[in-house]
Every structure is written in structure tokens, then in C-alpha cells.
Amino acid sequence: MKKLLLSVLLITGLFNVGSVFAADTAPKSVIHVVTVTWKAGTTPEQIQAALTGSQALPAQYKGITKVWTKTIKAQGDRTHAIVMEFADVDALKNYTDSAAQKEWYKVYLPIRERSTTFDITN
């Protein structure tokens, strides 16, 4: 009985240590995933300008740490994805209506037919 109790306590302790470790290492950043369908007639040059504009956002808005735009695989009518990493939830919230977003939207919104967005964090 003592061995069983010790085993249970040991296993419980290991799970607790693992939980604390996982919580300490979980990123606080937010991944903002946008899948895009472009308007009919949009040229490859216009698409590239929108992608290039998104890639410039980390230099224009300090809350964005990384941007990915090279789509390797796309399903359905979505041909491109734009993924941004924000430092944290507040950085994402403050990006809305920021000067950087407004400037990028001048190139992006006129050619976007529709998009789907997912914001993901731990």
C-alpha cells in the first residue's frame, strides 16, 4: 500500500512539474492567419504588392514580429495566406486602425474579394 501511495504521489508530482514547465514555455505571441480570395481581374503584380506590403509591416508597427506570405499549399478558392506574428494580444488589438494597417490596406483591400482570419495563441 505504501508503494502504491508513493507511486501515485510521484506521478502526481511529475504531472505538476510538467504543467508548470509547459505554462512557462508557452509563447505569449499571437499568430494572425489570413486566407485570401482575390477579386476577379487582380493581376499578379497587384497580389505581389499586397504581399510585399504585408512583409514590410514589422518595420512599420513594432507589435508585429514576423510575417509569412509564401503559400506552399492552398485549398479551395483561397490562393494565398498572410500570416503575422504579434508580440501579444494587446499588440494585435492595437494594430486595428493603426497607421501601419491603414497604409497597407490601401494596397490590400481594393483587390481582396474576401478573407478568413484566425487569431491563435496559448
For domain 30-120, give the CATH number: 3.30.70.100
In this prediction, residues 64-93 reach a mean pLDDT of: 95
Structural domain spans, the chain: 30-120
Confidence check: pLDDT of 55 > 80:
yes
Rounded percentage of the chain residues whose pLDDT exceeds 70: 81
Q: What is the pTM of this model?
A: 0.78
For every residue of 49-93, DSSP letters joined together read HHHHHHHTHHHH-TTEEEEE---S---TT--EEEEEEESSHHHHH
pLDDT score recorded for residue 71: 93
93-116 pLDDT, tens digit per residue, is 999 999 999 999 999 999 999 999
- Percent helix / strand / coil, the chain, rounded to 5: 50, 25, 25
In this prediction, residues 84-100 reach a mean pLDDT of: 98
Grid coordinates representing 8 are 501515485
- 94 or 24, greater pLDDT: 94
